Amino acid sequence: MPADLLDLVQSLTQLIGEETALLGQPGGYRRIGALATAKARVVALIETRLAQLARETPDWVETLEPAVRAGLADASETLMHAARANGAVLARQIALSDELLAAIAQEAQRRTGATATAYGAGGLLWSTEQAAPIAINTSL
């Protein structure tokens, strides 16, 4: 196995770890964009390298020396653990964002009284809640 593939897997693991740490810090999300771009680039490099190896030497994994194969297995396992931790933090951040947006929308609706009332065909009065006008300023 070429050493560059192992280096790429380790780089991706490091980037994921940095992203996880940033997400745990107040205001850390502001620097996530650069990490996400770097992660996407490293993933693309890994995919390209794996495709090249599969095309040039379809049985490249079987031809690896045992020590190199063990190194790749260890790096892959470390990457998997880092990705799981990152996924848990991202899921928590998304859930918190959803809850915050729902609370803001509910308060905006309460303050604006965004409801509509109408008479039905049988003379019954019914009211519906309309979406509160909310805009998100992404430049902050």
> What H or E segment, with its residue span, contains residue 3?
helix 3-23
Among 94, 101, 85, 78, CA closest to 29: 94
Give CA–CA dist 12/5, Å, rounded. 11
pLDDT tens digit sequence for 24-59: 888 777 788 889 999 999 999 999 999 999 999 999
Using the predicted structure, report yes or no on whether residue 140 has a pLDDT greater than 60.
no
DSSP code per residue over 28-52: GGGGHHHHHHHHHHHHHHHHHHHHH
Poorest-pLDDT segment among 11-20, 89-98, 117-126:
117-126
Give CA–CA dist 109/68, Å, rounded. 60
DSSP 129: E
Using the predicted structure, report yes or no on whether residue 1 has a pLDDT greater than 60.
no
Judge contact between 103 and 76, C-beta under 8 A. no
The structure's pTM equals 0.72
Most confidently predicted of 90-94, 110-114, 125-129? 90-94
What are the structure tokens assigned to 69, written together? 């194969």
Residue 91: Cβ within 10 Å count = 10
What are the structure tokens assigned to 5, written together? 């593939």
